[in-house]
Amino acid sequence: MLVTEIIEQIKDNRKILSRLLTAIESESPRSEEVLRELYNHCGNAYRIGITGPPGAGKSTITNQITKHFRKEGKKVAIIAVDPTSPFTGGALLGDRVRMSEIGMDEGVFIRSMATRGSLGGLAGKARDLADVFDAAGFDIILFETVGVGQSELDIVEAADTVMVVLVPESGDAIQAMKAGLMEIADFFVLNKSDRPGSEQAVTAIKTILYMRDHDENSWLPDILKTVASENKGITEVIAEIGKHKSYLEQKGKLLNKRSERFRLRIKEIVEEKLIRELWHLYPTEQIGESETGGEGKKVSPYIYAERIIQSYKNKTLQGEGNGQST
């Protein structure tokens, strides 16, 4: 199938869409060709990141938010990077049933990503998948990730609006601060606020939030209470997303954010490609720690690294001299 045909077909053929996502995830050689062409069709979708500790209710919120956007007639794509997510089969049966409500909907596409065995960065790949959904005509792209590691944070950072989901259990706010979640949140959701201690938790988080430097022009992250399992507070969450979106648009920040994301992606791709090429040219498997320099001295990894970079540079220069592209 021609690249232009694929791009045309992913708009209403779920099978082809699904196949393309798999091709990208498994880094099939042709997928880059499609990604190159596809970018021209991107830029319409609004990207929302949902992160927080395992069990906080991220999937439940994702489910509720999705239903809400569907009522507005918007198409929703969900990219779930969570080994414990119902989307990947890690949760209770009750969750799966609830998920199937949106799972059966033609206007919803749920894609879970494998967290291991990824050569290129996980975050980069999640962004590529999001671009595919964007080009396929999805209006909303939700990233659900567990807020634990750097790569998960990288994923949500690629979103236009990021919400961090916490629960009343004591110490959650402190944990979130430690994990770097405070910095990336555009707003907080205190889910399970049907549980005791929710008022104290809100106060604790507000205290931390309002301590930060801000002026009348800056966005101050707020905290909203929800009981996602009962669909309580979800309308307010949707409203907050809208509010943040308008803020970004009015201040020209959405464009800035997206440009920054664009530059970052270029850097990532260059890094990925260079590293791949380098290790292809200089397989390091043969190098052993016992290697000795001249007088029986051990060779430092720094010396090796410099040698590899130097010979790569030389090779590139030679290539230019011969008028070759590689």
Ligand X SMILES: Nc1nc2c(ncn2[C@@H]2O[C@H](COP(=O)(O)OP(=O)(O)O)[C@@H](O)[C@H]2O)c(=O)[nH]1
Which of 6, 7, 46, 58 is close enough to bind Mg ion by CB under 5 A? 58
Distance CA 41, CA 93 (A): 38
Strands (E), 167-241: 187-190, 223-225
DSSP-derived secondary structure for 65-114: HHHHHHHTT--EEEEEE-TT-GGGT-S-HHHHHHHHHHHT-TTEEEEE--
User: Can residue 191 be called a binding residue for ligand X (CB under 6 A)?
Assistant: yes
Can residue 18 be called a binding residue for ligand X (CB under 6 A)? Answer: no
Nearer to ligand X, 132 or 228 (CB): 228
Between 88 and 151, whose beta carbon lies closer to ligand X? Answer: 88
Q: Is 192 in the site for ligand X (CB under 6 A)?
A: yes
Q: Which amino acid is at 277?
A: E
**Residues of span 40-59 touching ligand X by CB under 6 A:** 54-59
Q: What DSSP designation does 323 have?
A: T
For residues 143 and 156, the answer to whether their CB atoms sit within 8 Å is: yes
* Interaction of residue 155 with ligand X, rule CB under 6 A: no
Output the residue with the shortest Cβ distance to Mg ion.
Answer: 59
- 66 near ligand X, rule: CB under 6 A: no
Pattern 92-111, Mg ion, x by CB under 5 A: --------------------
Round to whole Å and give the CA distance between 105 and 259: 33
Out of 227, 234, 241, 248, the only residue in the binding site for ligand X (CB under 6 A) is 227
From the list ligand X, Mg ion, none, partner contacted by residue 120 (C-beta under 5 to 8 A by kind): none
Q: Measure the CA–CA gap between 137 and 254, rounded to whole angstroms.
A: 20
Please give the distance of CA 317 from its chain centroid, rounded to a whole number. 37
By a kind-dependent CB cut-off of 5 to 8 A, residue 55 interacts, out of Mg ion, ligand X, none, with ligand X
Residues that bind ligand X (CB under 6 A): 54-60, 84-86, 91-92, 95, 191-192, 194-195, 227-229
